[in-house]
Amino acid sequence: MLVLIKYGFENLAERWKLEVSGENDTIVLIQNGIFWAISQEIDPYLNRKIFALEPDMEARGYSKEDLKVPVIDYAGLVDLIEANPRSMG
Amino acid sequence: MRKILFVVYHAPCGTIWPNEGFRTAFGMYGEDIEPEVLFIEQGVISVAKETECSKIGLFPLKMVQKYIKRYGTAVLVEKESLNKYKVKELDENFPTEVISREQIKEKIRQNDFVIFM
């Protein structure tokens, strides 16, 4: 399942989504979900496949070195959407 | 038939999201998609017996109950959230099923799409 996180770690629903996700799920941090990637809040979930959307990272003034997870571009996101017919967002 | 789970985490009485959760779910029947509605976090207040937004002049939620019965829409409520927000009694006119977070993890995987609102 593909899990999209678009709000920061103050958002209860995003925290809940991460909590119910499984190790086989793919998580993509988009929009303000990027803030998870710069925080220790993401640490309990690093055993999942987690990516951050690079354009949303750059728009918020961060670089890859600031993030705890790898980045993908829009083409990479489309690939993940195609590869995961089920989604949570 | 595809399945979709709407997860409502916003409280009623001030936000329209619980109403929207049901409105959108009912619309799914026209697409031959089976919807379920799950309440978590502050959203669980929506199905509490004593909740009535019209007490303060806001849009009521209980109007959807007759459509839930008509369509047989599944209404799920997270047990942990009920405890967290101290909901003592559920409105029996919402045919709710109380499930744990562990059970929800399984439920999520039975749906094609899970949409938070």
Q: Given an 8 Å threshold on Cβ–Cβ distance, is B114 in contact with A88?
A: yes
What does the pLDDT read at residue A46?
Answer: 95
Taking the Cβ of residue A89 and every Cβ of chain B, the question of whether any pair is shorter than 8 Å is answered with: yes
Taking the Cβ of residue A10 and every Cβ of chain B, the question of whether any pair is shorter than 8 Å is answered with: no
What is the signed CA dihedral for B25, B29, B32, B34, rounded to 10 degrees? 50
Average pLDDT, integer, range A35-40:
96
Q: Given an 8 Å threshold on Cβ–Cβ distance, is B114 in contact with A12?
A: no
- Buried/exposed code over A42-53 (b: 16+ C-beta within 10 A; e: otherwise): beebeebbbbbb
pLDDT, tens digit, 9 for 90 and up, residues A46-73 = 999 999 999 999 999 999 999 999 999 9
Q: Given an 8 Å threshold on Cβ–Cβ distance, is A86 in contact with B109?
A: yes
Query: Distance (Å) from the C-alpha of residue B92 to the closest C-alpha of chain A?
Result: 26
Contacts of B28-32 spanning 24+ positions with Cβ under 8 A: B28/B4, B29/B71, B32/B1, B32/B2
Average per-residue pLDDT in chain A?
Answer: 96
Question: Mind listing the domains of chain A with CATH numbers?
Answer: 2-88 (3.40.1260.10)
Question: Mind listing the domains of chain B with CATH numbers?
Answer: 3-92 (3.40.1260.10)
What does pLDDT average to in each consecutive run of 10 residues of chain B (117 residues)?
95 91 94 95 94 89 92 96 94 95 94 95
| Residue B91 near residue B48 (C-beta atoms within 8 A) | yes
Query: Distance (Å) from the C-alpha of residue A58 to the closest C-alpha of chain B?
Result: 26
This complex has an ipTM of 0.79
Average pLDDT, integer, range A8-34:
95
Query: Distance (Å) from the C-alpha of residue A65 to the closest C-alpha of chain B?
Result: 31
Strand order in the sheet with B3-8: A71-72, A49-53, A26-29, A2-5, A87-88, B113-116, B3-8, B34-39, B74-78, B96-99
User: What are the chain B neighbours of A87 within 8 Å (beta carbons)?
Assistant: 113-114
What does the pLDDT read at residue B15?
Answer: 87
Backbone angles phi, psi at A19, to 5 degrees: -65, -35
